[in-house]
Structure formats: C-alpha cells, structure tokens
Amino acid sequence: MSRHLLTCPHCDALHRRPALRRGEKASCRRCGTVLLRQHRLTPEQVLALVVTALLVYVIANSFPIVNLQVQGLTNSTTLFGAVFALWDEGRQLMAVLVFATTQLFPLLDLAGMLALLLAVTRSGPRPSWFSPLLRFIQSLRPWGMTEVFMLGVVVSLVKLSGMAHILPGVALWAFAALTVLMAVILSFHPRQLWDEPRHD
C-alpha cells in the first residue's frame, strides 16, 4: 500500500505516486514543491557527462586561472594556489571553506555520481555501498559551489583589469565549461536514483 503513496517533504500532504516519463515532474498540489522528477537525460547520458566533467575538473584545477602582469612582473595562480596563499597568511579557516566548497565537494559529488550511475546502469543487485553513498551525495549537494566560484572569477577579473594586464589561463575556460557541465549534472536529482532502473 505505502509503495503507491508519496508524501510532500515541505507540507506533509499525501499523494498517489504518479508514473512519470522522462522530462516530467510532479508537484505538490497543496504547496507547489516538486515531489518527483524524471530527468530528460537517461542515467547513461548523465554518466557520459560526469566522465567529461571529471576530465574538465582535472584541467581546471591543474592550470593557472589567470596570469597577471604589473610593470614587467608576472604572477599567476591555480585555484589551489589561492587556497594555499590564504592558508599561508594565517587564514586557515577561510582556506578550508574555499577548498571544501570549490574543490573537495564538487569532486566528491562527481566521483559519487560516477559510482552511483555505474551501479544503476548495470544489472544485478545493488552493491552494499549504494544506499549510504546516495544519502551522502544528497546531503552534500548544496555545499558544492562551482557556479558561484565562476562568478567570483569574473568579478575578480573585472576588479583587476583596472590595475593590471590580464591574460586568461587555460583553467579559466575549463572552469567555464565545468560550470555548464555541472549545471546539467546537478539538475539530475540524485533522489531519482532510488527508483532506477526504470523499465521503459
């Protein structure tokens, strides 16, 4: 009986569980919260995007974001270089906050999604780590901030363009690509994976 029911996490209203097709979503009648979502893309397609995003992630974090030239002097930084500079000057807490939200959590999210999507696209019983990992990824989601960081890069460049000559680095384009990829991947709600595989 309870398998056919669905409750709204924001107002507790009880609904009959609808059968959704890809690209459809179901909203709560009482408060409007989205209850269920079937992403337009299949898990296999999202898996391909996750693999791409992991590669782009490596590029974005290995190369300088931007080169700065002031009166013949040049300086450049990777994202980790900025984190290290904060740590070095005694702002450890801030270094940890920036490292976690821009590097660690997005990486864990991508790596976790890779493992979960591989598990759902294979037949056979779910591995024992599936449920704990899926719950972990669901809790982690709000704390990865790649897109906010990308906006931060743009603001910094505008700010610095007044006082120095700026040469964009490889990682700048990689971060832009990563932001787009992450936007698509994050629109795939991990909650949907509880109901995979679908038979349609």
DSSP string, 111-153: HHHHHHHHHHHS-SSPPTTHHHHHHHHHHHGGG--HHHHHHHH
For residue 117, state whether it binds other proteins (rule: CB under 8 A). no
What's the closest the beta carbon of residue 86 comes to other proteins, in angstroms?
6
Q: List the interface residues with other proteins, window 43-62 (CB under 8 A).
A: none
For residue 165, state whether it binds other proteins (rule: CB under 8 A). no
Nearer to other proteins, 45 or 192 (CB): 192
Binding-site string for other proteins from residue 72 to residue 91, where x marks contact by CB under 8 A and - marks none: -x-xxx-x-xxxxxx--x-x
Contact between residue 153 and residue 60 where contact means Cβ atoms under 8 Å apart: no
Grouping H, G, I as helix, E, B as strand and the rest as coil, residue 191 is helix
Residues ≥6 apart with Cβ < 8 Å to 62: 78, 171
Nearer to other proteins, 11 or 183 (CB): 11
Between the alpha carbon of residue 61 and those of residues 8, 19, 65, 183, the distances in Å are 39, 41, 8, 18
User: Could you give the CA distance from residue 200 to residue 189 in angstroms, rounded to a whole number?
Assistant: 19
Grouping H, G, I as helix, E, B as strand and the rest as coil, residue 166 is strand
Nearer to other proteins, 46 or 95 (CB): 95
Nearer to other proteins, 22 or 135 (CB): 135
Nearer to other proteins, 55 or 170 (CB): 170
User: Could you give the CA distance from residue 78 to residue 98 in angstroms, rounded to a whole number?
Assistant: 13
Binding site for other proteins (CB under 8 A): 2, 5-7, 9-16, 18, 26, 29-33, 65-66, 68, 70-71, 73, 75-77, 79, 81-86, 89, 91, 93-94, 97-98, 101-102, 131-132, 134-135, 138, 142-143, 145, 148-149, 151-153, 155-156, 158-160, 162-163, 191, 194
